[in-house]
Amino acid sequence: MASHPKATEANSATPGHAPTNASTAADHNGGHAEPTAWGFDASGWVALAMVAVFLLMIWKRVPAAIGRALDSKIGTIRSQLDEAAQLRAEAEALRAEYEAKSAQADAEAATMLERARAEAAGIVAQAETDATALVERRTRMAEDKIAAAERAAVDSVRARAASAAAAAAESLIRDRLDDEGDRKLVDTAIGELGR
């Protein structure tokens, strides 16, 4: 005896699963009616509630309040941006001022360094000139002392030579002349004085 295939499917349903048959499909596809109130189903009521909320928001002027709040926030942000721009301008002005002061300080330092180098070169040149003059002066003084010592030595030698010559002449005269020779010599000298 052969069994009907649909009946077998209905009887062989696994436990825990709802049997699938034509009556179950009919229940899902329109066998139960959706609940409605005053002609609106659930989605209609949701749409109606949204319209009511929007109308309430417009009636309570919520968009205007939101606009005022946004305008206030925008104004606050603008004032903060203006303040930030002012602070930035002040910071840039300070930076420019400090850069100018730094450049001026660098220029002054370079000028002072150049002046110090020029003064050092002048001091070195003056020291060289002074040293040269001192050496020349000391050389002259030494030469003058040497010349004075030479003159003194020559004078001393001359004096000694004259003294020695006078002593030798006296000795010769004493040895060679007697009283008669002295008289002749004196007479000759007196005669030459008379001329």
Residues 152, 147: Cα–Cα separation, whole Å: 8
Domain that residue 73 falls in: 39-164
Q: How high does pLDDT run on average in the chain?
A: 79
Whether 47 is covered by a domain: the verdict is: yes
Number of domains in the chain: 1
Exposure pattern of 104-134 as b/e (b: 16+ CB <10 Å)? eeeeeeeeeeeeeeeeeeeeeeeeeeeeeee
Whether 138 is covered by a domain: the verdict is: yes
Would you state the pLDDT for residue 116?
Answer: 94
Whether 191 is covered by a domain: the verdict is: no
Whether 48 is covered by a domain: the verdict is: yes
Would you state the pLDDT for residue 30?
Answer: 52
Whether 156 is covered by a domain: the verdict is: yes
Whether 8 is covered by a domain: the verdict is: no
Which pLDDT tens digit goes with each residue over 98-123?
A: 999 999 999 999 999 999 999 999 99
Whether 56 is covered by a domain: the verdict is: yes
Taking the complete model, does pTM exceed 0.85, yes or no? Answer: no
Extract the tokens encoding 174: 């004493």
Residue type, 14: T
Whether 113 is covered by a domain: the verdict is: yes
pLDDT at 180 over 90: no
Would you state the pLDDT for residue 177?
Answer: 67
Q: How many helices (H) and strands (E) does the chain have?
A: 5, 0
Which pLDDT tens digit goes with each residue over 31-69?
A: 566 777 777 787 877 888 888 888 777 777 777 777 888
